[in-house]
């Protein structure tokens, strides 16, 4: 295999005859590039050969599920990936147009160990990527991605005989049967299904109708131009549309899905967004009422209510705060045998009997509807109001170069650890706990906390703050973190601030 180049120019002989793959596309737990600028089709083929080579290296059976999301270029990218996998001697089972959770489900349905799902997830048009795994229901972590990167960029992919392609034409139907089986609402809950014209439009509305919901479609027609907004339930434009649709249609809630359907966002009956970690607390209440001593995994960006909620305490719940990232939470949920895992970005992971362990926005949406169905006629907003009051920030992302962001975070970890060791106060309070599995989460005596970590996907940091005491304390926690970040000139502007 020829080692890929990193600086080929489009519309040139070299671009048409040599693979282009830039190193930055290999992220902590998946791969994402700007198609054309950072990877070309020959580069995708090299990625497929490298992935197939790595599967052989791992000693797993080289049998792989492939699928693609609904973008104008995704099918071409997947076909190039398939060529590379077949070159590596892999048996490729292609399920066609799919959501990421449909590809994960296909691993179980077809009894295949590996998956390579072509998707840019919620990223804007122009991006592409691949979500990969070699042991269901898990996806690759940092060690896997580092090794794959070395194989691909080093030109170490190995051609092997025996590769072939199997086309699977019925996976959409099988998936819809799977997610709806055994679920039936007692009443037709009126729900808006928002899909941003992304791939979920071909799956989510029908799945919700099958369980008995009264579904109002919002941007469910597939359109790879994404004419209204990007399919991302954290995007302010999509949230505004979701809110307006709830009010206009008298719906009880809106459920929004991202581009590859592995995340779910929720807007209540008043048109107010519910942060996904708060939805997670409500789901944990509902699940733990039916499963004694339930264990849950949540990411470090998530609300402190998981530890303080009296309902969860009464139900004997234990909670593990872990690294942000769908691959990390998925793996941790599996390792601990937790009932479910929740990530603030809207990834929900349900282990048996409620799911197969991977993140699935449609499975999460059905769980939310069933929770509301069991609530005895209470509105979604009423359920939210029953939670302990906190003041929370959105997820903020100050700019910071990829090559510097981890050093900045390490500096803040050391700074807060030194404060704790010297028993110095922050906002006039003792530091009662530092969670350092992923950056640093600083917890104060009154429950106020702040988090700084490096983004896994972008040249930025991640900052989140919350306080159960007051909005002023929440803002003061942000100011404390921000003042420490401002000591580092490489930290730039925020995408949004409180």
Q: Which residues are catalytic?
A: 121
Check the CA dihedral 314-186-280-334 and report its sign: positive
Beta strand extents in 63-159 (DSSP E only): 63-68, 91-97, 114-118, 127-133
Pairing verdict, β 91-97 and 164-167: parallel
Q: Is 416 exposed, middle or buried (0-12, 13-18, 19+ CB in 10 A)?
A: buried
Number of helices (H) and strands (E), helices first, in the chain? 16, 20
Instruction: Provide the H-helix boundaries in 202-299.
Output: 204-210, 236-249, 276-288
DSSP three-state, residue 463:
strand
**CA–CA separation, 148 and 28 (whole Å):** 11
**Residue 343: closest CA among 267, 279, 271:** 279
**Residue 445: closest CA among 463, 465, 427:** 427
DSSP secondary structure letters along 146-182: HHHHHHHHTT-----S--EEEE---HHHHHHHHHHTT
**CA–CA separation, 32 and 323 (whole Å):** 20
Q: What are phi and psi of 86, to 5 degrees?
A: -65, -40
Token pair 């939210």: residue: 384
DSSP class of residue 198 equals: S
- Residue 283: how many other CB atoms lie within 10 Å: 23
**CA–CA separation, 150 and 108 (whole Å):** 29
**CA–CA separation, 99 and 383 (whole Å):** 30
State the Cα torsion 485-491-494-495 to the nearest 10°: -140
Helix, strand and coil percent figures for the chain, each rounded to 5: 35, 25, 40
Beta strand extents in 302-419 (DSSP E only): 318-322, 340-342, 348-350, 391-392
**Residue 175: closest CA among 55, 267, 65, 296:** 65
Beta bridge partners of 39: 21, 35
């Amino acid at each position: 295999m020829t080692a890929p180049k990193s600086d080929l120019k489009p519309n040139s002989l070299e671009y048409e005859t040599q693979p282009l793959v830039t190193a930055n596309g290999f992220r902590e737990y998946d791969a994402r590039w700007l198609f054309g600028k950072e990877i070309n089709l020959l580069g995708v083929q090299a990625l497929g050969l490298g992935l197939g080579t790595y599967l052989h290296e791992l000693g797993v059976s080289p049998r792989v599920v492939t699928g693609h999301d609904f973008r104008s270029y995704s099918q071409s990218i997947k076909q190039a990936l398939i060529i590379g996998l077949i070159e590596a001697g892999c048996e490729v089972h292609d399920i066609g147009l799919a959501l990421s959770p449909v590809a994960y489900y296909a691993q179980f349905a077809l009894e295949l160990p590996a998956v390579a799902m072509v998707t840019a997830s919620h990223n804007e048009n122009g991006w592409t990527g691949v979500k990969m795994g070699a042991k269901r229901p898990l996806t690759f972590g940092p060690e896997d991605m580092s090794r794959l990167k070395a194989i691909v960029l080093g030109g170490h992919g190995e051609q092997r005989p025996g590769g072939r392609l199997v086309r699977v034409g019925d996976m959409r139907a099988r998936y819809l049967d799977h997610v709806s089986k055994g679920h039936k609402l007692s009443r037709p809950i009126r729900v808006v299904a928002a899909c941003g014209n992304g791939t979920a439009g071909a799956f989510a509305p029908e799945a919700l109708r099958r369980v008995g919901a009264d579904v109002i479609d919002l941007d469910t027609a597939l359109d790879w131009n994404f004419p209204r907004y990007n399919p991302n339930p954290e995007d302010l434009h999509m949230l505004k549309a979701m809110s307006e649709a709830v009010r206009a249609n008298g719906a009880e809630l809106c459920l929004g899905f991202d581009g590859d359907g592995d995340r779910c966002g929720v807007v209540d009956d008043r048109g107010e967004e519910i942060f996904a970690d708060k939805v997670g607390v409500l789901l944990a209440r509902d699940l733990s009422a039916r499963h004694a001593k339930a264990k849950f995994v949540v990411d470090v960006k998530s609300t402190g209510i998981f530890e303080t909620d009296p309902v969860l305490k009464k139900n004997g719940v234990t909670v593990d705060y872990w690294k942000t990232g769908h691959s990390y939470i998925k793996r941790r949920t599996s390792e601990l045998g937790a009932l479910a895992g929740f990530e603030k970005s809207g990834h929900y992971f349900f282990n048996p009997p409620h799911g197969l362990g991977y993140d699935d926005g449609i499975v999460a949406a059905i769980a939310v509807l069933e929770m509301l169905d069991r609530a005895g006629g209470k509105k979604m907003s009423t359920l939210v109001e029953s939670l302990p009051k906190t003041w929370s920030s959105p997820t903020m992302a100050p700019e910071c170069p990829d090559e510097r962001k981890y050093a900045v975070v390490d500096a803040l970890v050391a700074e807060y650890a030194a404060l704790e060791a010297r028993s110095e106060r922050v906002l006039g309070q003792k530091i009662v706990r530092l969670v350092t599995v992923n950056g640093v989460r600083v917890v104060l005596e009154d429950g106020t906390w702040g988090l700084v970590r490096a983004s896994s996907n972008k040249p930025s940091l991640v900052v989140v703050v919350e306080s159960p005491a007051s909005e002023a304390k929440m803002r003061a926690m942000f100011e404390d973190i921000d003042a420490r970040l401002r000591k580092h000139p490489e930290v730039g502007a925020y995408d949004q601030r409180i």
